[in-house]
C-alpha cells in the first residue's frame, strides 16, 4: 500500500477536514510564531555563531557550543540554568537525574498526578527498592491520583504536604500512555500555587515530555523549579540524534549534572563530538515542528470522530501535549490503522506491524513507526496495547503533509 492507493473519496475527506480545521490550525500557527520568536531571541541574546557548532572531543572542557546551548535552554524556559546533553540516553535518564537532584535519604517524593510514566517506576523503586533506585537510597515515595475529572486533587495534595518529610512534588504534564488527559500549563500553575501556599521548602518538578512548545508558556513560567524532557521528542525538532534536557534552579541543575557524570565533574565535562549543530537547529525548528505534530493530531481526531470513533483530546479541545488517543473497540480496525501509519512512513514503509509480547508488558503491543531517528516520537508513530478497548496513541509528524498522508493511508487500510 502506498499513496497511489489513496482513493478520491479519502482525498475529498482530507480536503473537507482541512477546510473545517482552518481556525484550529490558525491558533496552532500563532502559538508556533510566538514560540519561534522566543527561541530566536534566545539564540541572538546568546550570540550564537559558527564557533558554537564545532564540537569537542575527550573530556570536552570549554565546549562553547554545549555551554551556550545550556544558556539558550535556560532563557527559553525562563530558568536560572539548564543541562542539555547527548550523554542523557533518553528522557527517563534526564528525569531520573532530576529526581535525584531534589531528594536526600529519609525524604519523600510526592507524585501528585498519579503514578509516574512507566519507565520511571523502576527508577523511583515503586514496590521494589532495587539497587540504585531512589527507594534503595532510602527516599520514600507517595502518590496522589488525579480526580475522575482529570483535575489534580488539591485538598489531598495540601493534606499530604503536612508531612514535613515531603521535599519534592512531581507532576506529569502529558497523558503519557494513559487514558488521563494532559494538564495545561495553567493547571500546573494552580498546583504550584497551592503547594507554595503551604510550603516554601519543597521542590516542584514537572515531567515535560511531549509538552514543550504546545502552549505559549512552560511549567517553569508558572512556578515549577525543574523540568525535564527528551530530545527525540518536541525540543529536538526531529533533528537531535539523541539526548535529554533539564532546566530549572541552578542548585538542582548542578546536582543533576553531578549525577549524570560524577561529583566534582558535573556539567563541565562531556564532549559534544559532532552533535551541536543538530541540537541547535533542532531547537530552532522545534516550535514549528511541534505545530506540525499538533495539526496532524487534530486532523486525525477530526477524521476519526467523523468515522464514529472516540478520541481524546477531541479535535476542538485545547492541547498541552502532542498525543492523540483513538479508541477502536475492534482488533482488526486497530491493526489496519497501525499498518496504514507504517505504510505512510518514509523509512521502513515496507514492513507490516504485528502485535507482539514485548518484554516488560503484560499484554501484546502493536507499534507503527518509521523514523529517521530510532524510536523518535516527534516523528509520526502510533502504538497501543492490543487488548480491549483497542486504544491507539498516535503522536508526531515532522511535516503536516506527511502526517496527513499517514492518516489518509490508515483510513485507506481500514
Ligand atoms: C517519553 C516519556 C518519558 C521518557 O521516555 P524515554 O523513552 O525514556 O525518552 C517520560 N515521561 C513521559 C510522560 C513521556 O512521554
Provide the Cα torsion 304, 309, 312, 316; round to 10°. 50
Nearest residue (CA) to ligand 1, atom 14? 209
What string of DSSP letters covers 262-303?
Answer: -TTTGGG----TT-HHHHHHHHHHHHHHHHHHHHHHHHHHHH
**Residue 4 C-alpha to ligand 1 middle, in angstroms?**
35
Q: Which three cell numbers stand for residue 204?
A: 516542584
Report the pLDDT value the prediction gives residue 222, as an integer from 0 to 100: 98
Spatial contact of 173 and 207, defined as CB atoms under 8 Å apart: yes
pTM for the full predicted model: 0.97
User: What is the number of H-type helices and E-type strands within the chain?
Assistant: 11, 12
Spell out, as residue ranges, where the chain has pLDDT lower than 70: 360
**Number of neighbours of residue 19 by Cβ within 10 angstroms:** 8
**Residue 148 burial (C-beta neighbours within 10 Å; 0-12, 13-18, 19+):** exposed
* Parallel, antiparallel or unpaired: strands 226-230 and 244-248: antiparallel
Nearest residue (CA) to ligand 1, atom 9? 91
Report the pLDDT value the prediction gives residue 360, as an integer from 0 to 100: 65
Spatial contact of 118 and 283, defined as CB atoms under 8 Å apart: no
**Residue 230 C-alpha to ligand 1 middle, in angstroms?**
7
Structure letter (DSSP) for residue 356: B
What angle is formed at CA 166 by the lines to CA 162 and CA 170, rounded to 5 degrees? 115
**Residue 82 C-alpha to ligand 1 middle, in angstroms?**
19
CA–CA dist 138, 76 (Å, integer): 35
C-beta 228 within 6 A of ligand 1: no
Pocket test for ligand 1, best of 97, 117, 124, 229 (most atoms within 8 A of CB): 117
Nearest residue (CA) to ligand 1, atom 13? 176
Among the atoms of ligand 1, which is closest to the Cα of residue 173?
13
Amino acid at each position: 500500500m502506498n499513496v497511489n492507493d489513496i482513493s478520491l473519496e479519502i482525498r475529498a475527506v482530507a480536503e473537507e477536514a482541512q477546510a473545517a480545521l482552518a481556525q484550529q490550525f490558525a491558533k496552532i500557527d500563532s502559538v508556533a510564531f510566538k514560540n519561534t520568536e522566543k527561541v530566536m531571541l534566545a539564540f541572538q541574546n546568546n550570540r550564537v555563531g559558527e564557533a558554537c557548532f564545532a564540537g569537542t572531543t575527550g573530556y570536552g572542557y570549554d565546549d562553547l557550543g554545549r555551554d551556550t546551548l545550556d544558556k539558550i535552554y535556560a532563557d527559553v524556559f525562563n530558568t536560572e540554568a539548564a543541562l542539555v546533553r547527548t550523554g542523557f540516553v533518553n528522557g527517563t535518564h534526564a528525569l531520573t537525574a532530576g529526581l535525584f537532584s531534589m531528594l536526600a535519604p529519609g525524604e519523600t517524593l510526592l507524585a501528585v498526578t498519579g503514578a509516574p510514566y512507566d519507565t520511571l517506576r523502576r527508577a523511583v523503586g515503586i514496590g521494589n527498592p532495587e539497587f540504585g533506585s531512589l527507594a534503595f537510597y532510602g527516599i520514600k515515595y507517595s502518590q496522589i491520583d488525579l480526580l475522575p475529572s482529570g483535575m489534580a486533587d488539591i485538598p489531598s495534595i495540601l493534606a499530604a504536604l503536612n508531612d514535613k518529610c515531603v521535599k519534592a512534588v512531581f507532576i506529569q504534564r502529558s497523558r503519557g500512555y494513559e487514558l488521563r488527559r494532559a494538564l495545561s500549563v495553567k493547571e500546573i500553575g494552580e498546583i504550584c500555587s497551592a503547594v507554595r501556599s503551604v510550603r516554601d521548602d519543597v521542590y516542584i518538578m514537572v515531567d515535560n515530555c511531549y509538552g514543550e512548545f504546545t502552549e505559549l508558556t512552560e511549567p517553569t513560567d508558572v512556578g515549577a523549579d525543574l523540568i525535564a524532557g527528551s530530545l527525540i521528542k518536541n525540543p529536538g525538532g526531529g533533528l537531535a540524534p539523541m539526548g535529554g534536557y533539564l532546566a530549572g534552579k541552578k542548585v538542582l541543575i548542578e546536582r543533576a549534572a553531578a549525577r549524570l557524570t560524577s561529583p566534582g565533574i558535573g556539567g563541565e565535562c562531556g564532549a559534544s563530538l559532532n552533535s551541536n549543530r543538530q541540537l541547535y537547529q533542532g531547537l530552532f525548528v522545534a516550535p514549528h515542528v511541534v505545530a506540525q505534530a499538533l495539526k496532524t493530531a487534530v486532523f486525525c481526531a477530526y477524521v476519526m470522530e467523523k468515522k464514529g470513533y472516540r478520541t481524546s483530546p477531541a479535535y476542538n479541545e485545547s492541547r498541552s501535549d502532542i498525543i492523540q488517543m483513538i479508541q477502536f473497540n475492534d482488533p482488526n480496525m486497530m491493526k489496519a490503522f497501525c499498518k496504514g501509519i507504517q505504510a505512510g512512513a518514509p523509512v521502513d514503509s515496507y514492513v507490516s506491524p504485528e502485535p507482539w509480547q514485548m518484554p516488560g508488558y503484560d499484554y501484546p503491543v502493536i507499534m507503527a513507526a518509521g523514523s529517521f531517528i530510532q524510536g523518535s516520537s516527534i516523528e509520526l508513530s502510533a502504538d497501543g496495547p492490543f487488548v480491549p478497548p483497542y486504544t491507539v496513541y498516535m503522536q508526531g509528524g515532522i511535516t503536516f503533509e506527511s502526517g496527513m498522508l499517514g492518516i489518509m493511508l490508515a483510513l485507506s487500510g481500514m
